[in-house]
């Protein structure tokens, strides 16, 4: 089978003279072949992917929503709520295909490694949910890498020794005067940057949204003993969390991702029960201690939608 153009001269034919009909036919055939090649090689991404086509949610317990009714999913001990922010986003977008891969207790390594849970259960690597045709990824991760749980428990214990002082800050102060928690911020940022790179490699067409963490404490005045953080440690811990959110925002910008800013004062663990978005050590609404409640999840969902440029927050709006 010949690969020559039907208008191409044979080896025995003399070359076509410039301006001759044969030359014009050859030029036209060459141009048409070249145009077809350009069209064939044009990236399919010229047509923007609709985020609602295939949405995957990744993250830890601030994404999963432990103990917010109703817990569902497999494995059950990931404690994913049917009223967490990924569900709200999926419903508002009318997502054609939605996977919530988040799991309570997850750290960045659980994006690529299996997460062992109790009772013999485990959650598959969250990146397993990503595919080349995924069009939207939300990711809320980094809090456990910083050590949210450990810090809360340590500061609660230390507060009993000096409720009016700053025993927790002093606990994390190093011999050289540096702060251990401050040092964890860039380390966590590097891990999150690797996660964002991994998402881009697996789902190059996806819009990626990095979701910040709802503020846990007031800027200054706390509410000991309802929330057992010593008076002088309230501002300290708030500044650490603010630094984490700033780090997440910076890493999102570097990776070309969208950042959903959920910062809001007056909605922390010390706020009145009807106004708080994060429950305290002793929850007043169904939610895990020191975690978002239903109102908090709804707000985070709305902030994600706003970051995506979606004005209507529900299909009924």
- Summarised one tens digit per residue, pLDDT across range 180-225 is 999 999 999 999 999 999 999 999 999 999 999 999 999 999 999 9
Torsion of CA 288, 302, 108, 268, to 10 degrees: -40
Q: How many CB atoms lie within 10 A of CB 175?
A: 5
- What pLDDT, on the 0 to 100 scale, is given for residue 44? 41
- What is the C-alpha to C-alpha distance for residues 307 and 297, in angstroms, rounded to an integer? 15
Average pLDDT over the chain, rounded to an integer: 87
- What is the C-alpha to C-alpha distance for residues 222 and 230, in angstroms, rounded to an integer? 8
- Kindly give the pairing relationship between strand 115-116 and strand 122-123: antiparallel
3-state secondary structure of 173: strand
- What is the C-alpha to C-alpha distance for residues 310 and 314, in angstroms, rounded to an integer? 10
> Annotated active-site positions, please?
61, 291
**Dihedral sign computed on CA atoms, order 171, 177, 181, 187:** negative
Which tens digit of pLDDT belongs to each residue from 128-160?
999 999 999 999 999 999 999 999 999 999 999
pLDDT above 50 for 10: no
- What pLDDT, on the 0 to 100 scale, is given for residue 13? 44
- What is the C-alpha to C-alpha distance for residues 206 and 105, in angstroms, rounded to an integer? 25
pLDDT above 80 for 107: yes
First to last CA, the chain: 62
pLDDT higher at 43 or 47: 47
pLDDT above 50 for 279: yes
Which tens digit of pLDDT belongs to each residue from 292-313?
999 999 999 999 999 999 865 4
- What is the C-alpha to C-alpha distance for residues 90 and 95, in angstroms, rounded to an integer? 5
Across 105-119, average pLDDT: 97
């Amino acid at each position: 089978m010949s690969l020559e153009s039907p208008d191409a001269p044979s080896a025995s034919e003399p070359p076509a003279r410039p301006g001759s009909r044969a030359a014009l036919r050859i030029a036209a055939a060459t141009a048409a072949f070249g145009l077809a090649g350009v069209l064939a090689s044009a990236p399919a991404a010229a047509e923007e992917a609709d985020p609602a086509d295939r949405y995957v949610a990744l993250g830890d317990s601030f994404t999963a929503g432990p103990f917010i009714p109703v817990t569902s999913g497999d494995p059950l001990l990931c404690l994913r709520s049917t009223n967490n922010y990924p569900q709200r986003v999926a419903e508002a977008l009318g997502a054609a295909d939605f996977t919530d891969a988040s799991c309570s207790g997850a750290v960045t390594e659980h994006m690529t490694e299996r997460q062992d849970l109790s009772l013999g259960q485990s959650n598959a690597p969250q990146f397993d949910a990503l595919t080349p045709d995924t069009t939207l990824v939300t990711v809320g991760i980094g809090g456990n890498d910083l050590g949210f749980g450990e810090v809360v428990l340590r500061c609660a214990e230390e507060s009993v020794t000096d409720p009016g002082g700053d025993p927790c800050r002093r606990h994390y102060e190093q011999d050289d005067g540096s702060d251990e928690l401050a040092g964890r911020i860039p380390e966590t940022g590097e891990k999150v940057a690797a996660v964002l790179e991994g998402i881009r490699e697996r789902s190059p067409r996806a819009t990626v949204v990095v979701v910040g963490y709802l503020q846990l404490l007031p800027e200054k005045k706390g509410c000991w003993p309802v929330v057992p953080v010593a008076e002088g440690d309230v501002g300290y811990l708030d500044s650490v969390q603010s630094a984490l959110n700033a780090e997440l925002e910076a890493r999102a910008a570097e990776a070309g991702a969208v950042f959903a800013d959920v910062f809001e004062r007056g909605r922390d663990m010390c706020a009145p029960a009807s106004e708080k978005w994060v429950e305290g050590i002793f929850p007043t609404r169904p939610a895990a201690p020191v975690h978002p409640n239903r109102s908090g999840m709804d707000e985070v969902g709305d902030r994600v939608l706003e970051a995506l440029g979606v004005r209507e927050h529900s299909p009924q709006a």
